């Protein structure tokens, strides 16, 4: 693929994710510092916040402005059912306020603000526009507005994930990680802990303590990372971006193994047994959201495995952006049978063989996949 084929789409996506991360940072600070009524539960009991709907509306509006609403197909996680209820007027008002405050900052990120504030109907329409089911033909933007909402409401790790799928293949991946610490060892601690620790050390002119956006285009052989814009700074992209690569560690005894924090849709006991069987000795690094993919891509971890419990179906927005970034950074991501993940089947990763395995290199990946085949029959999945 020519590096500049998707240059406009990548430029817009990176700027929009920066803008969305700024929105999330403001909302998260409010959620952590106060007992908020801006968190509700979906039908499956998973949390959704003002940030989820606000980011979705913001990204939808921006993509439609740049590429035309008739030309943009967006697959995203949230819908407007809860916001449209009669007793959700205050929640909707909070979302509209958050969206407009965010859009007003758009010029700082090299984006255009609307001529006038959006009304409630316009915000609902922007969210509703993200109702595509994807598929094998055409271009589809895939958005997870706040990946890892549980981590988000707890003041910990989360991500804003935006990808572009063209004819069934992920061609752009952008991952905003507002709380990602620049020091690898701080990943083991709650976000607030290392924020306090960072105050004890003096920053250097060419470093930043936390928060980044990672991105890649298919076939480029490179993944990039840049710091988030803070305060009154303006986004000067691609200034300050640097290439990231996966770790060169291929000895399981030295490898760091990531897994989800939540036990609801992943089997920790099986992954723990699998890790032990291939020689992984370090304690697992449990991280919310697609930050796990970010850790692999940046070389902070070597292995990520997820084996969902029976009946759970992996959604494309939980993986598309992170998978591409890991691959372009030099890593390997497949299902547990060693097959490439298929993003062409709609909302779900249909035909997934048992689970997902992401590794920094082929050696570790082959060992994990081999251990899956050896261990599967005796597992309790």
Mean pLDDT to the nearest integer, 120-125: 97
Report, as an integer, the average pLDDT of 318-347. Answer: 97
How far lies 177's CA from each of 147, 157, 226, 360, in Å?
Answer: 10, 8, 11, 19
- Residue 191, Cβ density class (10 Å: 0-12 exposed, 13-18 middle, ≥19 buried): buried
List the catalytic residues.
52, 149
Q: 180 and 211 in contact (C-beta within 8 Å)?
A: yes
User: Is residue 194 very low, low, confident or very high in pLDDT (cuts 50, 70, 90)?
Assistant: very low
| Extents of the domains making up the chain | 7-244, 252-378
Binding residues: 77, 144, 147, 318
| pLDDT average, residue stretch 24-48 | 69
Q: Which of 3.40.190.80, 3.40.50.2020, 3.40.50.720, 3.40.960.10 would CATH assign to domain 252-378? A: 3.40.190.80
Q: Give 173's strand partners.
A: 163, 216
CATH number of the structural domain 7-244: 3.30.540.10
> Same CATH topology for 7-244 and 252-378?
no
Mean pLDDT of 187-193: 58
What is the residue-wise DSSP string for 20-42?
A: HHHHHHHHHHHHHHS--S-EEE-
| pLDDT on residue 2 | 42
Is residue 3 scored above 80 in pLDDT? no
Q: Which two tokens stand for residue 70?
A: 């008739």
Q: Per-residue confidence at 325, pLDDT binned at 50, 70, 90?
A: very high
The neighbour count for residue 320, using CB atoms within 10 Å, is: 30
**Would you list which residues are annotated within the binding site for Mg(2+)?**
77, 144, 147, 318
Going by pLDDT thresholds of 50, 70 and 90, the confidence category of residue 182 is confident
């Amino acid at each position: 693929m020519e590096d500049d084929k998707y240059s406009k789409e990548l430029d817009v996506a990176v700027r929009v994710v920066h803008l969305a991360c700024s929105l999330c940072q403001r909302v998260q600070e409010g959620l952590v510092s106060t007992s908020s009524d801006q968190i509700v539960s979906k039908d499956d009991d998973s949390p959704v916040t003002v940030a989820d709907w606000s980011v979705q509306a913001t990204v939808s509006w921006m993509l439609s402005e740049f590429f035309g609403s008739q030309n943009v197909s967006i697959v995203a996680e949230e819908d407007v059912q809860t916001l449209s209820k009669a007793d959700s007027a205050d929640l909707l008002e909070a979302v509209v306020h958050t969206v407009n405050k965010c859009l007003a900052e758009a010029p700082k990120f090299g984006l255009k603000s609307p001529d006038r504030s959006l009304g409630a109907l316009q915000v609902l329409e922007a969210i509703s526009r993200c109702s595509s089911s994807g598929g094998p033909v055409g271009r589809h933007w895939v958005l997870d507005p706040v990946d890892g909402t549980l981590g988000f409401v707890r003041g910990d790790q989360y991500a804003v994930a935006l990808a572009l799928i063209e004819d069934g293949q992920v061609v752009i991946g952008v991952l905003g990680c507002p709380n990602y610490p620049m020091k690898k060892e701080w990943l083991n601690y709650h976000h607030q802990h290392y924020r306090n620790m960072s105050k004890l050390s003096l920053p250097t002119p060419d470093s930043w303590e936390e928060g980044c956006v990672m991105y890649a285009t298919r076939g480029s052989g490179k993944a990039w990372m840049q710091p988030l814009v803070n305060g009154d700074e303006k986004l000067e992209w691609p200034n300050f971006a640097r290439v990231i690569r996966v770790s060169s560690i291929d000895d399981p005894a030295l490898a760091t193994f990531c897994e989800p924090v939540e036990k609801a849709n992943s089997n920790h006991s099986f992954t723990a047994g699998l890790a032990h069987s291939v020689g992984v000795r370090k304690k697992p690094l449990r991280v919310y959201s697609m930050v796990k993919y970010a850790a692999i891509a940046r070389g902070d971890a070597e292995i990520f495995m997820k084996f969902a419990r029976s009946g759970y179906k992996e959604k494309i927005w939980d993986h598309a952006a992170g998978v591409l970034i890991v691959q372009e950074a030099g890593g390997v991501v497949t299902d547990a049978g060693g097959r490439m993940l298929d993003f062409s089947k709609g909302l779900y990763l249909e035909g997934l063989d048992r689970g997902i395995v992401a590794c920094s290199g082929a050696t570790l990946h082959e060992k994990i996949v081999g251990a899956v085949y050896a261990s599967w029959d005796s597992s309790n999945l």
